[in-house]
Amino acid sequence: MPFVALKLSEFTSTYHRSGAMPTVVLMDSSLSMTRPVSQEGSEEFQRKNLAVHGLTMLFEHMATNYKLEFTSLVAFSSLWELMVPFTRDYNTLQEALSNLEDYDKTCLESALHGVSNIVQQEWGSTCPCQVVLVTDGALGIGRGSLRHSLHTLKQRVEDKKFPLPFPFPAKMFIMCIANVEELQSTDAMDNLEQLIGLNGGEGQIFTMEGPLCLKSVQSMFGKLIDQAYTPFYAVLHCGNLASDVQVFPRPEPVLVDEEVDPIPKAVQTDLEIVGFIEIADISSPPVLSRHLVLPIAVNKEVDEVGAGTTEDAEEEPSANQMAGKSPNFCVLLHGSLKVEGMVALVQLGPEWYGMLYSQADSKKKSNLMMSLFEPGPEPLPWLGKISQLGPISDAAENPYGEDDSKSPFPLQPKNKRSYAQNVTVWIKANGLQTDVQKILRNARKLPEKTQTFYKELNRLRKAALAFGFWELLKGVAELLERECTLLPDSAHPDAAFQLSHAAQQLKLASTGDSQYSAFNHNITPLHTDFSGGGAGDRM
């Protein structure tokens, strides 16, 4: 068994958000790492040397294929220390790696706390991270050992919780400078498996095959690279225009937890533009992750699966330089998206979409970016179903207008939300008081405010009927009758008529007589000779 993979899918979160994935390398610097490796050759290696060799390989790979990834280095024994904060400078990492000193015993729990803090301080708690733990599998003894940590897992008080699962989405890769047999001879393997389990099953344990030597450590780290650090290449299509691209960071498969079956979805390697939409129309949509879309030189053979060894990768820059001078669709697309203030809707797979747009980092630097929407036929309610979006030339008339003054977006929902439809809520007394006052205010300005008066009156009537609040109808009727008696001599004669008419109608409604208490019935103004046919509401 070369390595043990644990995948506990029931623990995975609703959406596995993928984004840029900073890496924390957590390097065991305990004394046990200095144990020599038995070898026939002249040179004697320590386990630490093998670890450093493996990490060097990882760093070299990232320096060429993952230039934009941030990596940090943490060394730990009973204490932990941040050797290199998150950086893209792999030389610094390499240097720190080669200057590592040896310390006392392994204490993983405090080191994992350290990782948790470092990541959150730098990236917050939504950014997914990868933790590469390099250890010999001697996980400490007594207090502070992993065994002890795991045994006491259930007896923790609130502020001394075990750091796993991390508050941010994390994948944990455990690189053991040991082989399976050795780890299984103690409970080390069990403990490490438990650790991955605590991380929600997100991660993997890698062990060395055969004798502990440079070759086997290389093959182990090669597997890690294949698993977690292969670049993602794709072809971006816009009809017949196309460009080979690297999508960075690589988009990770997304788990869609519908009510029925979680289906993992991966971004396909052909990214097809469906059409274009104005930035104002797409309107800052929520996205799962953002990626740079970097045009790449059309290589004779782009090895998508292989780890991409350093040799063939080295040729790329020069090829890229040459490619700088031949026209590339990405650059054209980027330029026009930027100038026009538009985004391109791109299909990532069946019922999965994203958008391409120009992202300016500063005034000078800008880039083609791709954001992934939530998988599904309708990722944004204000666009509707993507499959129903078609070319404007199919429409009877240009929905954007001849002068771009209109837009078919956003789509309106079938029902208005409560805040957009003047609902009546009387849970608080002042809600009710305001509504009654509105009626009284208008009552005093009759007949000028006849229309508003009846509008407010009918609103109150409807709500009172729905809430079975007949007492209120009677009360307001009385108020209106009183207003009628309080009318000044100068009042328009129509006012008195309307007030007593309204009061009478409310009273009838409060009897529950179906003739007068129908919900959809509206009290209409009384037709009087004074109103002259139109009680105009001069608002």
DSSP 8-state code for residue 253: P
Q: Which is nearer to other proteins, 48 or 449 (CB)?
A: 449
CB of 494 closer than 8 Å to CB of 531: yes
| Minimum CB–partner distance for residue 35 and other proteins (Å) | 32
CA nearest 409: which of 348, 349, 342? 342
| Minimum CB–partner distance for residue 338 and other proteins (Å) | 9
| Minimum CB–partner distance for residue 41 and other proteins (Å) | 42
What SS3 state is found at 155? helix
Q: Which is nearer to other proteins, 177 or 499 (CB)?
A: 499
Residue with tokens 């950086």: 87
Q: Which is nearer to other proteins, 129 or 139 (CB)?
A: 129
Helix axes 429-443, 493-509, angle to 10 degrees: 140
Contacts of 339 (CB under 8 A, 6+ apart): none
- In one-letter notation, the amino acid at residue 278 is E
| Minimum CB–partner distance for residue 130 and other proteins (Å) | 12
What is the C-alpha to C-alpha distance for residues 200 and 195, in angstroms, rounded to an integer? 9
Q: Which is nearer to other proteins, 419 or 515 (CB)?
A: 419
CA atoms 26, 29, 35, 40: torsion sign: positive
| Minimum CB–partner distance for residue 456 and other proteins (Å) | 13
| Minimum CB–partner distance for residue 81 and other proteins (Å) | 16
| Minimum CB–partner distance for residue 309 and other proteins (Å) | 22
Q: How many C-beta neighbours within 10 Å does residue 272 have?
A: 17
Q: Which residues pair with 346 in a beta bridge?
A: 273, 354
What is the C-alpha to C-alpha distance for residues 432 and 460, in angstroms, rounded to an integer? 9
CB of 19 closer than 8 Å to CB of 127: yes
